[in-house]
Amino acid sequence: MRCRAARRLARILGRRGAILLCYGTVWALYGYGQLVSPQPDQRGLRLLLDRIPLDAWAWMWIATGLLAVVFSWLPQGRDAPGFVALVLIVLPWMGAYAAAWIMGEFERGWVAALIWGVIAVPVIVVAGWREPPRPKRLRAADGH
């Protein structure tokens, strides 16, 4: 029964939906983490935090994650806003860390900027994938 439910869920979500669901969950958890236990060293984010408080950024991460989770259930073509949101929330983070490094305020800023950039790459790649056609029914060859 569980295998059948897992196959059905995988069929409904597809590859694109699975990425949106996973990344959306991670983004929402990251935002939640910033709310309840902010990162202690915020030097790399000073450029952002001087304009918008960390609590507001945390809620933006949570909202972005939840948006991606909602769009994960939609078919290709209608799921695009989820991919765009996942990438857009990362850009200010990358930019702030890179700027802090360039200005000499955070010597590891280049590392954080690259990490966030690399984390976003699979989202961009999957956004360009075409989802294979979804079968209307599970085939008898699947064992059920």
> According to the model, what pLDDT value does residue 136 have?
62
Which residue type occupies 131? Answer: E
Rounded to an integer, what distance in angstroms lies between the CA atom of residue 111 and that of residue 97?
8
pLDDT per 10-residue tile (average), the chain, 144 residues: 72 88 98 96 95 97 98 92 97 97 97 97 92 62 51
> According to the model, what pLDDT value does residue 130 have?
86
Rounded to an integer, what distance in angstroms lies between the CA atom of residue 33 and that of residue 38?
7
| Domains in the chain: boundaries | 39-131
Neighbours of 89 (CB within 10 A): 22
> According to the model, what pLDDT value does residue 3 have?
80
* pTM score of the predicted model: 0.85
